[in-house]
Amino acid sequence: MLEINALTTELNSDSGLIRAVDALTLTIRQGETFALVGESGCGKSMTALSILRLLPDSGRVMAGSVDLDGTDIMQVPEARMRDYRGRRISIIFQEPSTSLNPVMTVGRQITEVIERHTAVRGEAALAKAVDWLKRVGIPEPERRVNDYPFQMSGGQKQRVMIAIALAAEPDVVIADEPTTALDVTIQAQILDLLKELQQSQKMAMLLITHDLAIVSQMAQRVALMYAGQVVEVAEAAEFFARPLHPYAVNLFDALPDESKRGRELASIAGSVPALNQTFVGCRFADRCADAMDRCRSQVPELGEFSSAHTVRCFLYDSTSVVHKPTHSRQADQQSAAESLAGATVLEVRDYKVWFPIRKGLFQRTVGHVKAVDGVSFSIAAGRTLALVGESGSGKTTVGKALLQLLRGKAQISGSALLSGQPLDHLNGSDLRQARQAVQIVFQDPFASLNPRMRVNEILEEGIASLHPEVTPLERRERVAGLLEKVGLTRGALARYPHEFSGGQRQRLAIARALAVEPKLIVADEPTSALDVSVQAQILNLLKQLQGEMGVAYLFITHNFGVVEYLAHDIAVMKNGQLLETGTAQAILHKPQHAYTKALLAAVPRLVKAA
């Protein structure tokens, strides 16, 4: 259905010519799910944009062909290409906040695709849009079809993005992290929907993701990408049974789960190399524990290991001794002992956040949306409370309300005590003082980073505001050290947020929160945009800081692998209320509430053959 041959994409930048995709060759069969995995910045999303010819002005496809069912769409005129996009081949973008039109209702954005590419019009198109919203799990679709994107949560916006991409029932769908922002139950529903469409429409799918558990359940074949190149291609069962490339082995070691609790996750040192250089050896050599001399002087080719498995590595070259790469040296290192409960940092009792519903000419309040309706919990120093639940259940609202970011927008009652101080009653300098002790990492890093500020200004802003005693030189050294801790180089300090990938922007957001050395961090899906290697670095960092500084975390997430690895306690939330709370051991192994059991049943698990 889709045959990509020697696709090469280059981007002009201030640092020179960047070869984001280098001679990529893949074949995707009709009805097949082909997974493209790898770290953030490896060129996966740029591959997707190249296929659809949606590159930024600075980029262009330099060579190669993309054959879609017999037509090389690289040679099709742009006017005709619009007939292909949406109808023959469509894309689910990674960041729905920047992909949806903010001044159009979600229903209009779906009907636009339906009317452009099918014969359905008017009320029939609107009815079909409502049906798509229902199919992707939007509650009350008849009402929500008239909503604007800003009225929806991050997970709901991602569902709308999926509905838009599938509305015209295309032959090929490129899914760029399609379930990153979704909770596990909706993720399971979306994955089932994609499977159903593939069976009924014989739709091919290029699945770009960092979630190897989803890959193991969805994909028939897998390609591993690193620094613009494909380094391993295999049937999915073969890839999970016997990963060959050292990079693949390291990725499996970095996956968090309960079995690795209490020890440090394996992480790959360093970061993906800059692509504005001419490589003289293997691109992974500087990060590889198995690198040989020839790895730094010769470029390995993508060679055949078996009939269904190719790999770009000298370890499997006919002139080398074949052996399995060693696991990361960090894999078996024990981390600091499980932290014991210290003094209570945050005490929340009967907390309510109600948003007014206003109608009429004078905007009178006619009711309330009870986003948070009487939740109670506490977090001690050195402990992590995971707040889990479906999108729209009120988890993010809890975090924002605790940091006093919803004052004037909602009616807040109950008590929230930060080290004994009532947060809801603090103002002015007292509130500023409290914010030295509590910080937040937002779910959407693109929306939370100032696009007009360089990285050094973003990271130094909090220190300068909340810790004026720190000198400018000390600030610069602190932020440079933070960047290295979250897996970025000092060269990033002079760049703007738009110059980074989604995962890299999330690392910047985490570094900004850590910069003021808080006692409590509200982390709203902090690893959802990260690939598994960087996620391991971040989780190791969070655990290290917890051991060294006794920092407490309110960890809002839908990733149960992270919950199993990091959380000491779990609170399950639905419709603004806590349904079940307890220790991680109790909730994960002996859940009492039916909703908790349903959540755990929907978690994708890595199917790794022996």
CA atoms within 13 A on the CB side of 538: 26
**Low-confidence winner among 62-76, 185-199, 396-410 (lowest mean pLDDT):** 185-199
**Low-confidence winner among 59-68, 380-389, 432-441 (lowest mean pLDDT):** 432-441
- In the prediction, which pLDDT does 329 show? 42
Name the band, by pLDDT with cuts 50, 70 and 90, for residue 337: very low
Inter-residue contact 273 to 286 (CB < 8 Å)? yes
Scan for tokens 């309960």, then name that residue. 258
One DSSP character per residue, 115-137 reads HHHSS--HHHHHHHHHHHHHHTT
- In the prediction, which pLDDT does 501 show? 74
Q: Are residues 506 and 598 part of one domain?
A: yes
Inter-residue contact 91 to 174 (CB < 8 Å)? yes
Residue 91: which CATH number? 3.40.50.300
Name the band, by pLDDT with cuts 50, 70 and 90, for residue 602: confident
Convert the pLDDT of each residue in 207-264 to its tens digit: 998 788 889 889 999 999 999 999 999 999 999 989 999 999 988 888 888 888 878 8
Convert the pLDDT of each residue in 83-112 to its tens digit: 898 889 999 987 788 889 999 999 999 999
- In the prediction, which pLDDT does 335 show? 44
Query: Over the chain, what is the mean pLDDT?
Result: 86
Q: Looking at residue 316, what DSSP letter applies? A: G
Q: Residue 530 pLDDT more than 80? A: no
Inter-residue contact 405 to 364 (CB < 8 Å)? no
Strand order in the sheet with 2-13: 16-28, 2-13, 59-68, 71-72
Convert the pLDDT of each residue in 562-572 to its tens digit: 899 999 999 99
In whole angstroms, give the CA distance from residue 85 to residue 170: 9
Q: Residue 502 pLDDT more than 80? A: no
Q: Are residues 523 and 460 part of one domain?
A: yes
What CA–CA distances, in Å, run from 118 to 81, 86, 104, 106, 125? 16, 10, 20, 18, 9
Distance of alpha carbon 30 from the chain centroid? 28
Structural domain includes residue 134: no
For the chain, give the number of residues.
610
Percent of the chain with pLDDT strictly greater than 90? 42
Inter-residue contact 578 to 549 (CB < 8 Å)? no
Structural domain includes residue 349: no
In whole angstroms, give the CA distance from residue 217 to residue 213: 6
What CA–CA distances, in Å, run from 102 to 97, 105, 156, 240, 421? 8, 8, 14, 41, 39
Q: Which residues pair with 271 in a beta bridge?
A: none
**Which of 268, 298, 316 is the endpoint of a domain?**
316
Q: Are residues 512 and 554 part of one domain?
A: yes
Distance of alpha carbon 572 from the chain centroid? 21
Q: Are residues 66 and 185 part of one domain?
A: yes
Q: Can you tell me the mean pLDDT for 370-399?
A: 90
Q: Residue 479 pLDDT more than 80? A: yes
Structural domain includes residue 346: no
Strands 59-68 and 2-13: antiparallel
- In the prediction, which pLDDT does 181 show? 63
CA atoms within 13 A on the CB side of 444: 18
Q: Can you tell me the mean pLDDT for 271-295?
A: 88
- In the prediction, which pLDDT does 136 show? 84
- In the prediction, which pLDDT does 610 show? 43
- In the prediction, which pLDDT does 48 show? 93
Domain extent, residue 183, equals 2-99+163-219
Q: Are residues 214 and 246 part of one domain?
A: no
Strand order in the sheet with 577-583: 438-441, 520-524, 552-556, 384-389, 569-574, 577-583
Structural domain includes residue 368: no
Structural domain includes residue 416: no
Token pair of 159 as six digits: 């569902």
Q: Residue 326 pLDDT more than 70? A: no
Q: Are residues 554 and 438 part of one domain?
A: yes
- In the prediction, which pLDDT does 115 show? 93
- In the prediction, which pLDDT does 320 show? 54
Domain count, the chain: 3
One DSSP character per residue, 162-177 reads HHHHHTT--SEEEEES
One DSSP character per residue, 38-97 reads --TTSSHHHHHHHHHT---TTEEEEEEEEEETTEETTSS-HHHHHHHBTTTEEEE-S-HH
- Who has greater pLDDT, 506 or 520? 520
Number of other CB atoms surrounding residue 146 within 10 Å: 12
Structural domain includes residue 324: no
| Strand, helix or coil for residue 458 | helix
Q: Residue 322 pLDDT more than 60? A: no
Q: Are residues 464 and 540 part of one domain?
A: yes
In whole angstroms, give the CA distance from residue 149 to residue 489: 35
- Who has greater pLDDT, 186 or 71? 71
Q: Are residues 207 and 290 part of one domain?
A: no
Structural domain includes residue 445: yes
Q: Are residues 491 and 430 part of one domain?
A: yes
Q: Are residues 262 and 203 part of one domain?
A: no
Inter-residue contact 607 to 218 (CB < 8 Å)? no
Selection from 335, 361, 390 nearest residue 544 by Cα: 335
Q: Are residues 255 and 214 part of one domain?
A: no
Convert the pLDDT of each residue in 120-177 to its tens digit: 999 999 999 999 999 888 889 999 999 999 988 777 888 899 899 989 889 999 998 8
- In the prediction, which pLDDT does 331 show? 42
**Which of 316, 339, 356 is the endpoint of a domain?**
316
Name the band, by pLDDT with cuts 50, 70 and 90, for residue 547: confident
Scan for tokens 């090929």, then name that residue. 172
Structural domain includes residue 546: yes
Q: Are residues 439 and 299 part of one domain?
A: no
Q: Looking at residue 457, what DSSP letter applies? A: H
Three-class HEC string of 279-303: CCCCCCHHHCCCCCHHHHCCCCCCE
- In the prediction, which pLDDT does 328 show? 47
